[in-house]
Chain A
Amino acid sequence: MDENINDSVWPKCQDLLQGELPQQQFNTWIRPLRASLSQENSILLSAPNRFIEDWVRNHFLQRIREVVKDICAAEINIELKVKSQTPTFINNSIRVEENDSSITTSDFQLNNNTIDLVSTSREELVKSATESRLKTNLNPNFTFNTFVEGKSNQLAFAAAQQVAENPGGSYNPLFIYGGVGLGKTHLMHSVGQAMLSKNPDAKILYLHSERFVADMVKALQLKAIDEFKNFYRSLDALLIDDIQFFAGKERSQEEFFHTYNALLEGGQQMILTCDRYPKEIDGVEERLKSRFGWGLTVAVEPPELETRAAILINKAEQLGFYLSKDSAFFIAQRIRSNVRELEGALKRVIAHAQFAGRQIDIDLIRESLKDLLALQDKLVTIDNIQRVVADYYKLKMSDMLSKRRSRSVARPRQIAMSVAKDLTNYSLPEIGESFGGRDHTTVIHACRKVKELAIGDREVKQDLKHIYRLLSA
């Protein structure tokens, strides 16, 4: 049989099936199949997933066999399999010793484009190997230049720049933590990009923790755990995002622990991000938690108003649109939670401006974000803030307004006052009045106190985070 199956039998078979099937069915089920020669008189069809594989097996496989038999004038065995996901470490740089078929560090790499995606054994993977460059997974748009610095992220920004200047130095690992959508991933990519621009041959890899876990599972299935180890340990910098997703995955933690130690001992840079402080990650081994803190741990806080406005102006510019300061501040005052939400709001405003053929101004923003703003207005009233805080601390609404000074009541009341000052446009006397006729100086004191606690007391910080979240959704 003609060995070049992709140029002969399968295209002919596809042509015939296209004539027999409705276009949509052909496009959905037959077009995604990829053919390769598996053995003599045998064709291997790979489906992109189990869903398609199963459907094809049940509905079309018999017909495919008949058509192929007619084309080849011989009995051809047709196998159907799911195309296996190629792990990062195989896609990028499994290396093979010259005299040995086992995969170890040496000369050549598997190529992203030519790798046989239906292969399931190490030998098959090695056979299809050719030279290729490491795929870093770095997003070219995430650089230091496009990062908007503000009070909330200046320490993390400075640390990231230091790491980029001196990778593998004293800030190793760099552990960046903070809430969702605050720019941790952006900073991480920026370091990678900067390192790469200084040294284009540097082996830098960014990946989400889920991908690391998936790769490791695949390595175990392929009995290629040594290659997995060799690959990860050969990197100049390893950037892993959202490591809280390692929680509960003991085998992955074990492997990551050894990779982590090896990289640190070798002076290679590690950058990790997480949604919380290392010690607070649940479901992660203590030895890992303590090691996360060996280098530099920096927090990224939610951006303050000015930074949010600057982020909007910057993002609009990147998308080729002009956003005035007034417009940026209008959105930033109303959308406070994180950068991703700002991004979503800006996309809506731009889509409406394009659709209506109008300039972006406050009226257009009001129309575009009507539902979001209505929700904000509904949630962010002094009355609702008091209700949410009282519910959160399991107090009665009347406690918020009472004269009681016990700590269990006074602290939540101070928090509610501080949140009201932050989220509403009411004056200090108006806020005081709404809390049982208190003086404006009481509100000032409450705001100062809560600000201090938010820095020094982890529990209060956590409470505030939850309360802001409740008030923004």
Chain B
Amino acid sequence: MKGFGQLALNVHLNVDATFENFFCANSDPHKLAIRTIKAKESKFLHLFGPKGSGISHLLQAVCNDLSIRKELVAYLPLSQLFQKNPVEVFDGIHEFNSICIDDIDMVTGFEDWQVEIFNLVNRIKDTGARLIIGSHRSIDYMNLSLEDLESRLKSFLGIYIPKFQDSELIGLIYHQASIKGLKCSEGVAEFIIKRVDRSTHEIMAILRKLDKRSLEDARIITIPFVKQVLQI
């Protein structure tokens, strides 16, 4: 039981992750993913793509959205749960309406986790529950030792979500800035992406930092301001 107290504390569902603030640019894969998730046509769905492609955001958006609709949902990021006993992590989970398992590629090399996910898939087949999994690798590259699980995961509807292009990251910065009510002068986004790691995580962290400092200093976001805050 102690383990679960700790488990609960460790699992972090970002309540700010919603479909509305998810930036799609003109990316068909992102739009396809959102359409498929919202349509609820697929009982088993697999979103995969490189880090920073927005998979965790989408999975958490599913949970936030369904939770508001009073459904019982579980967000299980394996990267945060991996020290736990898989039997306990998945105990009773099949009775939820929707289950989102993030970082499922963590189970590579761990047969006990693979068996529990395999059991979960089998149990869910007989219920109305929906399972959405997210990973950075496709099933083919996961090298799962449990063939039974591998074949089941391959039957999921898989949607590949690519990393954002530079032009899309620029759009992301302006999009997020407008959501946060930040005023950015021209060229700020281009300046930022040329100087930081081109990942959505990094960019979102920078925007939070800029947001905080601009509020404190009552300044709009200009290139000199960005240089000062990021010390570049």
Q: B31: which A residues are within 8 A, CB to CB?
A: 355
The distance from the CB of B75 to the nearest CB of chain A, in whole angstroms, is 10
Interface flags, A331-364, vs B, CB<8A=1, else 0: 0000001101101100110011001100000000
Q: A27-B67, A50-B92, A54-B5 are in contact. Are A344 and B147 (CB under 8 A)?
A: no
- Is the CB–CB distance between A344 and B5 below 8 Å? no
A58 contacts B by Cβ under 8 Å? yes
The distance from the CB of B91 to the nearest CB of chain A, in whole angstroms, is 5
Q: A180-B147, A210-B122 are in contact. Are A49 and B92 (CB under 8 A)?
A: yes
Interface flags, B19-46, vs A, CB<8A=1, else 0: 0000000001001100110000010000
Q: B52: which A residues are within 8 A, CB to CB?
A: none
CA distance A275 to B148 in the complex (A): 9
Interface flags, A25-67, vs B, CB<8A=1, else 0: 0011001100000000000000011110111001000000000
Q: B148: which A residues are within 8 A, CB to CB?
A: 180, 242, 275
- Is the CB–CB distance between B92 and A347 below 8 Å? no
CA distance A247 to B123 in the complex (A): 20
- Is the CB–CB distance between B154 and A341 below 8 Å? yes
Partner of A343, one of B73, B140, B155, B160: B155
Q: B68: which A residues are within 8 A, CB to CB?
A: 23-24, 27
CA distance A50 to B8 in the complex (A): 10
Partner of A344, one of B91, B123, B157: B157
Query: Taking chain B's interface residues, is the majority helix, strand, or loop, or is none over half, making it mixed?
Result: helix
B72 contacts A by Cβ under 8 Å? yes
CA distance A139 to B88 in the complex (A): 28
A293 contacts B by Cβ under 8 Å? no
Q: A31-B70, A48-B72, A50-B4 are in contact. Are A347 and B42 (CB under 8 A)?
A: yes
Chain A stretch 258-303: residues in CB contact (< 8 A) with chain B: 275
* Nearest residue, chain A, Cβ from B91: A49
Query: Taking chain A's interface residues, is the majority helix, strand, or loop, or is none over half, making it mixed?
Result: helix
Q: B179: which A residues are within 8 A, CB to CB?
A: none
CA distance A27 to B75 in the complex (A): 14
Q: A48-B96, A371-B138 are in contact. Are A58 and B5 (CB under 8 A)?
A: yes
* Nearest residue, chain B, Cβ from A208: B122
Q: A49-B91, A344-B156 are in contact. Are A355 and B35 (CB under 8 A)?
A: yes
Chain A stretch 451-473: residues in CB contact (< 8 A) with chain B: 469, 472-473
B119 contacts A by Cβ under 8 Å? yes
CA distance A48 to B7 in the complex (A): 16
Task: Show 6 A/B contacts (Cβ-Cβ < 8 Å), sorted by A.
Answer: A51-B8, A54-B5, A83-B95, A347-B156, A347-B158, A355-B32
Known: A27-B70, A180-B148. 17 other contacts (CB 8 A): A23-B67, A28-B73, A32-B72, A48-B95, A51-B4, A58-B5, A181-B152, A275-B147, A275-B148, A344-B154, A344-B157, A344-B158, A355-B28, A370-B160, A371-B160, A372-B138, A372-B140
List chain B positions with a Cβ less than 8 A from chain A: 1, 4-5, 7-8, 15, 28, 31-32, 35-36, 42, 64, 67-68, 70-73, 88-89, 91-93, 95-96, 119, 122-123, 125-126, 138, 140-141, 143, 147-148, 150-152, 154-160
The 7 closest A-B CB pairs, nearest first, are A49-B92, A340-B155, A180-B151, A181-B151, A54-B4, A347-B157, A341-B154
